[in-house]
């Protein structure tokens, strides 16, 4: 029996069996309206970013909340932090964002004892400077007096620590083959022998280099070229236990002692 309809109710006609029901779709947005909405959204975004930029500039540059208050220094060995800070020449009270860290690093790297230097902004108020100092391995005479030679062969001014050997090399420098050979050979020399080292002599000719070490007790070591340094070091220690004046390890397979 059919159910009676309630007063005011609207009868919905159901589609016959087997006929697909079509869903109602929302009305399509006209392309012009879509473009207008996109333009409005972009304008709002630009205004927000501009407001943030103005606010950031006020905080960083005008309000003084992020001004430079100091310089921190790490990595010094022979240099004092005050020497590095003086070379960095960072002005206090300027916005930290305006500090040219590359220029700061370049000024610090110009110090003779500094091999490399870095500088960065350490928010909120500090410029952080990191240095790597040169490691001196010898003393060499120059036209301006004695200078230091580091592990790269670079010659620079500085106060020599005690115990450094003297390099008997003319025209010493990082591009000089004799200097490079002397530094390389010195790096392979056993510590016990290095403690007795007084002079390093190196010559370069016709593509070959010859290194000679002068030790205490009037002893000389003919090292030869920098090649096979570890092998030469291994035979030199027992060889020096023998009496003699000249200890030749240029050919580590056939070491000799001359009395």
Q: Which helix (H) or strand (E) holds 180?
A: helix 177-188
User: 26-52 as b/e, with b when 16 or more CB fall inside 10 Å?
Assistant: eeeeeeeeeeeeeeeeeeeeeeeeeee
Give, as one character, the DSSP assignment of residue 132.
Answer: E
Mean pLDDT rounded to a whole number for the chain: 86
Confidence tier at 40 by pLDDT (50, 70, 90): confident
pLDDT in tens, 166-193: 999 999 999 999 999 999 999 999 999 9
Name the pTM for this structure.
0.72
Q: Which of 43-52, 113-122, 240-249 has the lowest mean pLDDT?
A: 43-52
Q: What is the pLDDT of residue 51?
A: 55
pLDDT higher at 31 or 20: 31
CB 191 within 8 A of CB 236: no
Q: What is the pLDDT of residue 28?
A: 60
Task: Tell me the C-alpha distance between 75 and 204, whole Å.
Answer: 36
Q: How far is residue 184 from each of residues 32, 48, 173, 204, 252, measured CA to CA in Å?
A: 76, 62, 13, 14, 16
Q: Which residue has the tokens 């500085």?
A: 158
């Amino acid at each position: 029996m059919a159910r009676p309809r309630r007063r005011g109710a609207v009868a919905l006609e159901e589609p016959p069996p087997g006929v697909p029901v079509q869903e109602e779709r929302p009305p399509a947005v006209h392309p012009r309206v879509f473009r207008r909405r996109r333009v409005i959204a972009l304008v709002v975004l630009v205004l927000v970013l501009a407001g943030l930029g103005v606010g950031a500039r006020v905080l960083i540059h005008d309000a003084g909340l992020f001004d430079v208050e100091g310089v921190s220094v790490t990595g010094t060995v022979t240099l004092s932090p005050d020497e590095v800070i003086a070379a960095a020449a960072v002005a206090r009270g300027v916005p930290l964002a305006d500090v040219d860290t590359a220029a700061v690093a370049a000024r610090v790297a110009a110090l003779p004892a500094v091999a490399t230097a870095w500088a960065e902004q350490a928010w909120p108020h500090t410029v952080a400077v990191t240095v790597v100092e040169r490691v001196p391995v010898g003393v060499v005479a120059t036209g301006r007096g004695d200078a230091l030679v580091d592990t790269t062969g670079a010659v620079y001014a500085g106060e020599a620590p005690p115990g450094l050997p003297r390099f008997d090399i003319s025209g010493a420098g990082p591009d000089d083959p004799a200097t490079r050979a002397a530094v390389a050979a010195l790096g392979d020399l056993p510590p016990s022998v290095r403690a007795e080292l007084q002079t390093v002599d190196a010559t370069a000719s016709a593509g070959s280099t010859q290194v000679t070490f002068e030790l205490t007790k009037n002893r000389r070591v003919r090292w030869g070229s920098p090649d096979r340094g570890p092998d030469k070091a291994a035979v030199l220690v027992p060889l020096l236990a023998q009496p003699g004046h000249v200890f030749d390890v240029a050919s580590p397979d056939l070491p000799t002692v001359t009395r």
